[in-house]
Amino acid sequence: MGNLSLVKSLSHLQEEQKYTDEVVLERWGIAFLRGGLAEIAGEPSSGKTSLPLTLLSQLTQTGEICAVVDSANSFDPCSAVLGGVELENLLWVRCGGDLEKAFMSADMLVQAKGFGVVWFNLNGLSQKQLRMVPKTYWYRYRNRIKETPTIFIVTAAEPIVGSASQRSFSFTRDRALWSGVGRYKLLREFHLSCHSRKGSFSQNRGTRDNTSIPNANPSNISYLPTAFAVPKLSHRGTISGLGTVSERRSRHFSGTPLPIKIEFDYTEI
Amino acid sequence: MPKLYACIISPAAEDPHGLMAVARDFSYSIEMLEDGVVFDVSGLERLVGKPRLIAEKILEQLRSQKIPGSIGIAETVDTASLLARQKKGLEHVIHLPDSFQKLPLRDLEIEQDTLNVFHDLGFRRVEDLLAIPRDELIRRYGGEFERVVKTIEQQGERLLTPNVKENHVAWAYDLDFPVEDFEQLIFILNHGLDKIFAEVHHHGFSTEHLDITFRLQNKTGRDYEIKTSFPTLDKTFWLKLINLRISMDSPEAGIMAFRVTAYFTKPRPAQRGLYAVSRPEPESLLLTVGKLKKLVGVDNVGVPVILDQRLAQPFALDADALPKGKEKIEVREEHSVIAFSYFHPPVSAEVLVRDKRLIFIRTRLFAGHVREYSGVWKSNSKWWDRSWKTQEWDVEIDGHGVYRLCKVENDWFLAGEYD
């Protein structure tokens, strides 16, 4: 019976997180836990890059220093500026498609402590290569990050982090909205669906919140097997933003913010 | 150990030699002011006694040199100089920290508008301000007022800037035999940094610039200039930074001798407040960037900058810059746009065009019918030496994503995806 004393209580696991505050993206209806690892997966053109940019925008504007590990040199600073990111507060690390260097870079940034967000962008790397990454890497990040105020975000085409992530969202695109006729069309909006595979949506869930969502407070469930504990939640939204023809062509010059409309329709599935 | 500073404000300050002579009897760390002198008397408590006794000793020296002046003594430079200035011109007066609370507010360099408000509220002396909650003062009068609050609480951050002729110290070492690997010399360098940093500290300075010069076996020399964006005397940090810098560009021959020069800089005040946002420590940020540069290449780590040009990729990476952690005055509302993500290298494509319409696209990633598209767009900033060859379309592929399709002469490729 004495061996039982070696088993840590579940409450201990919950307390290991030093920072418990969340950064809430109200329009997206998603909250990110500081000192936590979050995963965003999605097919092409599903908004998985727009979401980290929104988070970077929110934190860099308040003076926090954030970092992007750009595994496949796919990061576009112009989109970041249009999304409101303060580039002066952003550290950009280009890894040129080298997976090993990307993982080592992310590790160094986590060890530096104090970054607001470390965005580990794995878009553009082959899924076959990513699936070969040992899961222990992700647990290493999770362990390193828990005592820091950093939000560690991983984006990839498919979920790869597994049970090491505290939050996991997958995005799909319902449709892309185009305006105009004939040759004079413009890409206007993406209508997206977001599925929470793990963790919860924020309590403040956007502009059209008519649906009640079961309590999925992660502070109560983070240590339980996720497949059973977390209800599958979903919400739908649109991201828009390519404006008129003149705006579309002038974005490289002026970096003028484009009009944006996001409305979410929450449903439980 | 608390610091202690003495300030002499004198009408004889135009001829500073007398005041300097008095100050030198008590301290090595002296700063000349326009109307006097301020110097560090920390540690004299053990030799002389309480601050009052130290002030009396200074006064004796002033009398013996026949220099008129008032003396302020306090734990911060600001408080000492404010105390000494309160009855300027009078001969041989001592102001102790206890008298700080009686100081009139007009002596605190507060803006006239704020002073008028205080006057209306009946606050005239420091003790009146100390009686009301400080948080309330900062909330009402803004962040600038924090400096005033620190002054009245005698926690000013101003540091002494000693007047010394030298602007650097150096240390050199000759080796008995050549050493190929610099890492083997770290323990010797450690000893050298100990010495020069002690000397820099002795002068009351810090450093943000080290020069390292090697004399090599092949009779040539090699110089390394290492700078940080902040002054520090943290030896471990400097050793790591030097090692990183030299490992990225090692000397081409064995090292026979080396010399380290540290340049003086004013020390930095503590800048972190209770409400400071999340930022890595400057030392940690600089070291991390150094390590990252060693890993992924010097040109691949830095801050993104937007170019004012109409190019296909109108941005660059500034490898010499570090993130500043600058706070924006007006924070925009949460804002989202469709982001763009580049393919590196661009994905070549085969495109079926019928009646000048894009019909079908096949790449190594996917193949599918074009559902919608917009274009053609052209981008080129340097039209005078390049023709407008690149044409762009935004295309939505059935069952796949929305991409930017480009055509250069007869080659089609995908530049990236909208995401």
pLDDT of residue B379: 65
Centre a 10 Å sphere on the Cβ of residue A173 and count the other Cβ atoms it contains. Answer: 23
Name every chain B residue with its beta carbon within 8 A of the beta carbon of A84: 332, 335
Tokens at B9, concatenated = 């404000």
Q: How close A133 comes to chain B (CA, Å)?
A: 19
B318 inside 8 A of chain A by CB: no
Q: How close B113 comes to chain A (CA, Å)?
A: 29
Q: How close A146 comes to chain B (CA, Å)?
A: 14
Centre a 10 Å sphere on the Cβ of residue A42 and count the other Cβ atoms it contains. Answer: 27
pLDDT of residue B387: 62
Name every chain A residue with its beta carbon within 8 A of the beta carbon of B414: none
Q: How far apart are CA B83 and CA A95, in angstroms?
A: 58
Q: How close B192 comes to chain A (CA, Å)?
A: 27
pLDDT of residue A65: 92
Measured between CA atoms, the residue of chain B closest to residue A157 is B419
Measured between CA atoms, the residue of chain B closest to residue A251 is B310
Give the position of tokens 């007066």. B93
Q: How far apart are CA B277 and CA B273, in angstroms?
A: 9
For residue range A155-171, list pLDDT tens digits in order: 999 989 988 888 888 88
Cβ separation of A91 and B317 shorter than 8 Å? no
pLDDT of residue A39: 93
Share of chain B above pLDDT 70, in %: 87
pLDDT at A19 over 70: no
pLDDT of residue A262: 40
Cβ separation of A63 and B342 shorter than 8 Å? no
Name every chain A residue with its beta carbon within 8 A of the beta carbon of B401: 43-46, 173
The secondary structure of chain B, three-state, reads CCCCEEEEECHHHHCHHHHHHHHHCCCCCEEECCCEEEEECCCHHHHCCCHHHHHHHHHHHHHHCCCCCEEEEECCHHHHHHHHHCCCCCCCEEECHHHHHHCEHHHHCCCHHHHHHHHHHCCCEHHHHHCCCHHHHHHHHCCCHHHHHHHHCCCCCCCCCCCCCCCEEEEEEEEEEEECCHHHHHHHHHHHHHHHHHHHHHCCCECCEEEEEEEECCCCEEEEEEECCCCCCCHHHHHHHHHHHHHHCCCCCCEEEEEEEEECECCCCCCCCCCCCCCCCHHHHHHHHHHHHHHHCHHHEEEEEECCCCCCCCEEEECCCCCCCCCCCCCCCCCCCCCEEEEEEEEEEEEEEECCEEEEEEECCCEEEEEEEEEEEECCCCCCCCCCCEEEEEEEECCCCEEEEEEECCEEEEEEEEC
Name every chain B residue with its beta carbon within 8 A of the beta carbon of A53: 336-337, 339
Cβ separation of A76 and B334 shorter than 8 Å? no
For residue range B51-72, list pLDDT tens digits in order: 888 888 888 888 888 888 888 8
Tokens at B243, concatenated = 């090692």
For residue range A45-96, list pLDDT tens digits in order: 888 898 999 999 989 988 889 999 999 999 999 889 888 899 999 999 999 9
pLDDT of residue A109: 93
For residue range B375-413, list pLDDT tens digits in order: 787 766 566 666 667 788 889 999 898 999 988 888 899
pLDDT of residue A221: 24
Residue among A59, A93, A248 with most chain B CBs within 10 A, to mutate: A93
With left for phi above 0 and alpha for psi between -120 and 50, is residue B142 left, alpha or beta? left
Cβ separation of B292 and A105 shorter than 8 Å? yes
For residue range A123-146, list pLDDT tens digits in order: 988 888 888 888 888 999 998 888
Cβ separation of B416 and A241 shorter than 8 Å? no
Nearest CB among B284, B342, B374 relative to A178 is that of: B374
Helix (H) or strand (E) holding A247: helix A245-254
B75 inside 8 A of chain A by CB: no
Per-residue pLDDT of chain B (419 residues; tens, 9 = 90+): 678 888 888 877 777 788 888 888 888 788 888 788 888 888 888 888 888 888 888 888 888 888 888 888 888 888 888 888 776 555 666 667 677 777 787 777 677 777 787 788 788 888 887 777 777 777 776 666 676 777 777 776 677 777 767 788 899 999 988 888 888 888 999 999 999 998 888 777 888 899 999 999 888 889 999 988 888 888 989 999 999 889 888 888 889 999 999 998 877 765 444 455 667 888 888 899 999 999 999 999 999 999 877 777 889 999 988 898 777 767 677 777 888 899 988 999 999 998 888 899 999 988 999 998 887 877 665 666 666 677 888 899 998 989 999 888 888 999 999 98
B329 inside 8 A of chain A by CB: no
For residue range A218-258, list pLDDT tens digits in order: 222 222 222 222 233 444 455 544 333 333 333 333 333 33
Name every chain A residue with its beta carbon within 8 A of the beta carbon of B400: 44-45
Cβ separation of A187 and B374 shorter than 8 Å? yes
Burial of A214 (0-12, 13-18, 19+ CB in 10 A): exposed
Residue among B309, B322, B329, B374 with most chain A CBs within 10 A, to mutate: B374
pLDDT of residue B67: 84
Give the closest residue to A78 by CA, choosing from A98, A49, A39.
A49
B271 inside 8 A of chain A by CB: no
Give the closest residue to A238 by CA, choosing from A71, A11, A27, A3.
A27
pLDDT of residue A233: 40
Q: How close B249 comes to chain A (CA, Å)?
A: 20
CB-based contact A204:A40 (threshold 8 Å): no
Q: What is the mean pLDDT of residues A3-32?
A: 64
pLDDT at A148 over 50: yes
Cβ separation of A123 and B341 shorter than 8 Å? yes
* Long-range CB contacts for residues A223-228, cutoff 8 Å, separation at least 24: A223/A10, A223/A13, A223/A14, A226/A163, A226/A197, A226/A198
pLDDT of residue B275: 52
Please identify among residues 378-397 of chain B the ones whose CB lies closer than 8 Å to any CB of chain A. 379, 394, 396
User: Could you tell me the pTM of the whole model?
Assistant: 0.68
Q: How far apart are CA B206 and CA B190, in angstroms?
A: 17
pLDDT of residue B218: 84
Nearest CB among A90, A105, A262 relative to B323 is that of: A90
Name every chain A residue with its beta carbon within 8 A of the beta carbon of B376: 183
For residue range B159-197, list pLDDT tens digits in order: 777 776 778 889 999 998 888 888 888 899 999 999 999
pLDDT of residue B231: 86
Cβ separation of B342 and A73 shorter than 8 Å? yes
- Band (pLDDT 50/70/90 cuts) for residue A264 is very low
pLDDT of residue B378: 75
Distance between first and last Cα of chain B: 57
Q: How close B274 comes to chain A (CA, Å)?
A: 15
CB-based contact A242:B377 (threshold 8 Å): no
With left for phi above 0 and alpha for psi between -120 and 50, is residue A124 left, alpha or beta? left
Centre a 10 Å sphere on the Cβ of residue B133 and count the other Cβ atoms it contains. Answer: 8
pLDDT of residue A217: 26
